[in-house]
């Protein structure tokens, strides 16, 4: 089911994808898979005081570089943060265009149970745009209180370390309570316990396609 060579990550805001599936991305890149990362808002309205308005866009690019995702595989859009529901149709059309251009085998998206309105919009519209694709919902514990992981991707320490290095690129976001290395490692250990390994990331299998 996860043998596809082309991966797309749908991240509502900068850094969501890194938090949700960063170690898995590091593993896939290490294995030679082709990874695309689409972020739908650079969150200019949420930039902390003292930082330039484009800081999150620059930090996103630095994070992608830390993973080894080339500039051509990083797609940055600028829908207004916290107002995604009002732009649902345009977001759907953007996702459909990505599907036609990239033709991904596996798509990562926010959990279907994510309570943030922007995340929920991306989750819903991704299911519509990629209904014939393997879909995995990633968890962001501060927004997914009722996450029900039923698929676990095992990762190595070097993959987790790369995720942590990528998240460190977001200097403007280090004040957030969840931007904590210990929390990232602890969650990977908990999901690893589910898979009987040291480290893993958990996902909701939204749509699975078993091929021969």
Tell me the C-alpha distance between 187 and 160, whole Å: 11
Residue 43 resides in a domain: yes
Tell me the C-alpha distance between 131 and 59, whole Å: 31
Which CATH number do you get for residue 82? 3.40.50.10320
Give pLDDT, residue 211. 73
78: Cβ contacts below 8 Å, ≥ 6 apart: 41, 42, 44
Pick 212 or 160 by higher pLDDT. Answer: 160
Total domain count, the chain: 1
Residue 121 resides in a domain: yes
Is the per-residue pLDDT at 1 higher than 70? no
pLDDT tens digits along 135-194 = 999 999 999 999 999 999 999 999 999 999 999 999 999 999 999 999 999 999 999 999
Q: Which residue has the tokens 């990874």?
A: 35
Residue 29 resides in a domain: yes
Look up the domain containing 179 and give its range: 6-207
CA distances from 193 to 43, 120, 186, 188, 198 (A): 35, 28, 11, 9, 7
- pTM confidence score: 0.96
Residue 153 resides in a domain: yes
User: Which of 25, 39, 112 has its CA nearest to residue 69?
Assistant: 25
Residue 168 resides in a domain: yes
44: Cβ contacts below 8 Å, ≥ 6 apart: 53, 54, 56, 78, 81
Give pLDDT, residue 4. 84
Confidence of residue 210 (pLDDT cuts 50, 70, 90): confident
pLDDT tens digits along 46-69 = 999 999 999 999 999 999 999 999
Residue 107 resides in a domain: yes
Give pLDDT, residue 2. 67
Residue 1 resides in a domain: no
Average pLDDT over residues 21-42: 98
pLDDT tens digits along 73-120 = 999 999 999 999 999 999 999 999 999 999 999 999 999 999 999 999
Residue 212 resides in a domain: no
């Amino acid at each position: 089911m996860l043998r596809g060579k082309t991966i797309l990550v749908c991240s509502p805001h900068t850094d969501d994808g890194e938090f949700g599936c960063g170690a898995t991305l590091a593993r896939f890149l290490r294995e030679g898979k082709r990874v695309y990362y689409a972020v739908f808002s650079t969150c200019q309205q949420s930039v902390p005081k003292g930082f330039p308005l484009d800081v999150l866009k620059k930090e996103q690019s630095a994070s992608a570089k830390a993973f080894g995702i080339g500039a051509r595989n990083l797609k940055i859009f600028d829908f207004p943060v916290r107002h995604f529901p009002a732009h649902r149709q345009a977001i759907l059309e953007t996702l459909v265009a990505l599907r036609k251009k990239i033709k991904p085998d596996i798509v990562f998206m926010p959990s279907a149970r994510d309570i943030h309105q922007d995340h929920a919009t991306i989750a819903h519209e991704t299911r519509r745009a990629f209904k014939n694709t393997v879909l995995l919902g990633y968890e962001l514990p501060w927004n997914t209180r009722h996450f029900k992981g039923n698929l676990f991707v095992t990762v190595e320490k070097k993959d987790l370390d790369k995720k942590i290095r990528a998240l460190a690129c977001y200097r403007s976001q280090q004040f957030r309570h969840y931007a904590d290395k210990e929390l990232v490692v602890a969650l990977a250990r908990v999901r690893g316990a589910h898979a009987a390994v040291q480290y893993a990331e958990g996902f909701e299998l939204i749509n699975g396609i078993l091929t021969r």
